[in-house]
């Protein structure tokens, strides 16, 4: 059994926008494999800023625009800093 702690609210569309998160939808159909970064501003305008934005809330509303499939997954990614921590500096080290 899983217990949901009080005060542990999920993301909203506006909270994703405020945190500059990137949400990518991808098709689970192995013949398609289409993916697309979602336009969170357009989703906010359609569903409202307080609409829940967890995968279980959004995926039933999505379908693949390429194959029409309803088996869609989401990847949530935080903003990147633009700095590659693995890049070598100018002196080669």
Q: What is the pLDDT of residues 27-44, one digit of tens each?
A: 999 999 999 999 999 999
Give the chain's domain count. Answer: 1
Give the residue numbers spanning the domain of 33: 21-77
Per-residue pLDDT at 3 exceeds 50: no
Sheet of 72-77: strand order equals: 35-37, 22-27, 72-77
Question: What's the half-sphere exposure (Cβ side, CA atoms, 13 Å) at 58?
Answer: 29
Structure pTM?
0.75
Using the predicted structure, report yes or no on whether residue 7 has a pLDDT greater than 50. Answer: no
Buried b / exposed e across 18-30, counting CB within 10 Å, b at 16+? eeeeebebbbebe
- Please indicate, yes or no, if residue 4 is contained in any of the structural domains: no
Say if 87 falls within a structural domain: no
Is 11 contained in some domain? no
């Amino acid at each position: 059994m899983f217990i949901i702690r009080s005060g542990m609210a999920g993301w909203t569309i506006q909270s994703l926008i405020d945190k500059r998160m990137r949400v990518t939808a991808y098709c689970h159909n192995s013949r398609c494999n289409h993916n697309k970064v979602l336009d969170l501003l357009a989703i906010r305008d359609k569903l409202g800023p307080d609409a829940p934005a967890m995968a279980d809330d959004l995926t039933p509303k999505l379908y693949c625009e390429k194959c029409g499939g309803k088996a869609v997954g989401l990847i949530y990614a935080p903003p990147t800093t633009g700095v590659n921590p693995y890049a070598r500096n100018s002196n080669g080290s």
